[in-house]
Amino acid sequence: QSVLTQPPSVSAAPGQKVTISCSGSSSNIGNNYVSWYQQLPGTAPKLLIYDNNKRPSGIPDRFSGSKSGTSATLGITGLQTGDEADYYCGTWDSSLSAGAVFGGGTQLTVL
């Protein structure tokens, strides 16, 4: 059971917009930055969003992140079939050791 809560799956049509939620608590999301990772089938995770809403170089602006209180949201606009992947939120938890905590992952299907 993951520390952060994500919906197991979301779906939308090509060209549409989708949001993925990530819920936590004051000891993790509420007081720390949130990151988002994209994992294409059979590959390693890839950093998509960091510090709640920043994109690493090379990540298109179709991907966005936001945070409010103890929840965070990943938004993807202009959906493409290549966006089909598992998406994970992550942060750290001040009540635990120096490790990270992740959501259980959300599988995105582009219909």
Contact set with other proteins (CB under 8 A): 2, 32-33, 35, 37, 43-47, 50-51, 56, 88, 90, 92, 97-105
User: Is the CB of residue 91 less than 8 Å from the CB of residue 4?
Assistant: yes
Q: How far is the CB of 50 from other proteins (least distance, A)?
A: 4
User: Is the CB of residue 3 less than 8 Å from the CB of residue 94?
Assistant: no
Q: Which is nearer to other proteins, 62 or 86 (CB)?
A: 86
User: Is the CB of residue 67 less than 8 Å from the CB of residue 54?
Assistant: no
> In which residue are the tokens 């939308």 written?
12
Q: Which is nearer to other proteins, 16 or 51 (CB)?
A: 51
Q: Which is nearer to other proteins, 78 or 100 (CB)?
A: 100
